[in-house]
Amino acid sequence: MQTQAETATPIPPVSTRLPAREVPTTSRKVVLYKLVVLGDGNAGKTALVMQLFPKCFVEPYDPTAENLYQKLVHIDDMGCILEVFDTTCQEEYPALQDQCIRANEGFIILYSITSRSSFAQVRSFHRRIHRVNESTRAHSDIPAPIMLVGNNCERTTEREVSTQEGHDMAKELGCGFVEASAKNCINVEKAFYDVVRIIRRQRNQQQRQQHSLSNPTSGPSRYRWLKKSGKR
C-alpha cells in the first residue's frame, strides 16, 4: 500500500540546472536527485515513468507535454527525493532536449527491444548528453551518470535487439545496463535507483577529493605536504 509520502504529484517543469539540495524531514535530511528519461519516440518513456509514479496520469494525454514528478523513496536504506523529468517526442524538439539535460544530473537512455530503430538512436542521445554536459558541468571530466535501459522485455517473441547487444552497447558507452518492462513493472525501480547510486558514488568521490585538497596535512597527502614544506 502506497503511503502519503510516496504519492507522486506533478510539479512545474524547470529550465535551469539546480544544485542538489537537502529537503528536511521529521527525522533526517534527504537529498534531491534529478533524473531525465531520453529515448526515441516509440521507446516507452512515459510508460516507464508512469510505473514509478503510478498516480500521475493526467487526462487528456498530451504527447508533447513536459511533466516533472517528485517522490520520496528509500534507496539502500537512505531517504531521498527522486525527481524525474519526462518529455516525450523529444526528437522533434532538440532545444528542449538540451534544456532537459542541463536541468538534470542523471540520465536514462531508453530503447525498446522490439524496435531496432530506437536502439539505433542510443549513441545519438549519449553524444548529446556529453556535448551539453561538457559546456555546463563543473566536473565535465567525470562521466555522466547514465543507465541504458531496454524496455518491453516481456515481448520476447517480438524482440529485435538481443540482450547481448544491449550489454555490448552499454560497455562501449561506459554506462550501466538493464532490460525492463514498463508494462509488467520489471526492473523499473532498478533502472532509476541505479542512476541514483552512480550519482552518490560520484558525489562521495568529489567530496573526498575536495577534503584532501583543503586538508593537505591529513590523510595520505600529509607526507607529501611535509616534504614540500621542508618539515619533518
As assigned by CATH, the class of the 29-199 domain is alpha beta
Cell numbers for 67, please give them. Answer: 511533466
Nearest to residue 194, comparing CAs of 100, 113, 107? 107
Question: Which string of DSSP letters, residue by residue, matches 44-106?
Answer: -HHHHHHHHSTT---SSP-TT-EEEEEEEEEETTEEEEEEEEEESSGGG-HHHHHHHHHT-SE
pLDDT at 57: 46
pLDDT at 180: 98
Peptide bond into 60 cis (omega under 30): yes
For residues 100, 102, 105, 108, the Cα torsion angle rounded to the nearest 10 degrees is: 40
Sign of CA pseudo-dihedral 167, 170, 176, 181: negative
Distance CA 45, CA 192 (A): 12
CA distances from 161 to 27, 56, 122, 146, 175 (A): 46, 30, 12, 20, 18
Binned average pLDDT, 10 residues per bin, the chain of 232 residues: 45 37 54 93 91 64 64 92 79 79 93 98 95 75 91 97 98 97 95 96 83 64 52 52
Give Cβ neighbours of residue 65 (< 8 Å, ≥ 6 apart). 88
